[in-house]
Structure 1
Amino acid sequence: MSLFSSTIQSLENGLNYSSAKQKAISQNIANVDTPNYKAKTVSFKEQLNASISTMEANRTNPRHFEFSGSGKGTLNIRNNPFQYNHNGNGVDIDKEMSEMASNQIYFNALSDRMNGKFNSLKTVIRGGK
């Protein structure tokens, strides 16, 4: 029996993804003028699809759908092959700034939800007071 629901684990994984993405974006922005630097991206969708494809579920009724997929995916950081500058640099600063703002919103939403989960636990521990 688990003390916490899997929601906290999912939120933690989301925060880890956001952190890795922030690091990649920061590296890209820091190297915007570096010759032959290729922008880095964090792949998550591929890992999610691979994880879902191997997931297995306990069917309690034969009418339930069959599906498979379990295990933890890892985040892959890969280089973007595009070149945006004459010096071989692959960083588009406008795209990076847009992704940074989007990632910040995503991180804030996850951290607010995590805070709400812990506040609910605190309320339960205090006996509803």
Structure 2
Amino acid sequence: MDLDRINIMKAITRRMEYTGERQRVLAENIANADTPNYKPKDLKKASFSDLVKGPNPRAAIATTQPGHIGRSSASAGNGSWKVERAKGEFEVAPNGNAVNLEQQTMMLAENQGEHNLMTNLYRKQVGLLRKALGPRQQ
């Protein structure tokens, strides 16, 4: 059974990919806390409702001949998230570095909570599917 065909499972998976990528960006900010003129970055917020809706089938590229290249299902969730400058910089060090370790730590904790929530939702959805399928027959 392909769980990616279930919209809620696809949305949860994409959200987990988002939190993983955000973890990488926030860790990069902390690693560059002493780098001169470094500005912290963050990912653009992803809307969970957009993840649930998925791609618009009417917006897909039409393939009218066998040689045409259509839109693949892999391109819908390629995990490419937009990295942008972090908002709410509180202070800038004399060397031009704008990383606030307390703020970055709070953002990491928030991101971890979001990832844990998605992991629990995924686990519950799999449990519901198992219950719906009934006991295994041997």
* Aligned counterparts of 2:94 and 2:126: Cα–Cα separation in 1: 50
SS at match of 2:84: strand
Alpha-carbon deviations, 1:7-61, whole Å to 9, x = none? 0001011101111111111111111111121211101259x88xx9x9588xxxx
Normalising by structure 1, we get a TM-score of: 0.69
Higher relative contact order (CA 8 A, sep 6+): 2
Normalising by structure 2, we get a TM-score of: 0.65
- Count the aligned residue pairs: 110
State the Cα distance separating 1:79 from its structure 2 match. 3.2
Unaligned runs of 5+ in 1: 58-70
* Aligned counterparts of 2:56 and 2:6: Cα–Cα separation in 1: 19
* Aligned counterparts of 1:72 and 1:95: Cα–Cα separation in 2: 32
Q: Determine the structure 2 residue equivalent to 1:93.
A: 101
* Aligned counterparts of 1:79 and 1:90: Cα–Cα separation in 2: 11
SS at match of 1:32: coil
Match among 79, 83, 104 for residue 77 of structure 1: 83
CA contact (8 A) 1:39 1:90 kept: yes
The CA RMSD over aligned residues, in Å, is 3.1
Matches for 1:1-129 after TM superposition, within 5 Å:
4-45=5-46, 72=76, 74-80=80-86, 84-127=92-135
Unaligned runs of 5+ in 2: 59-74
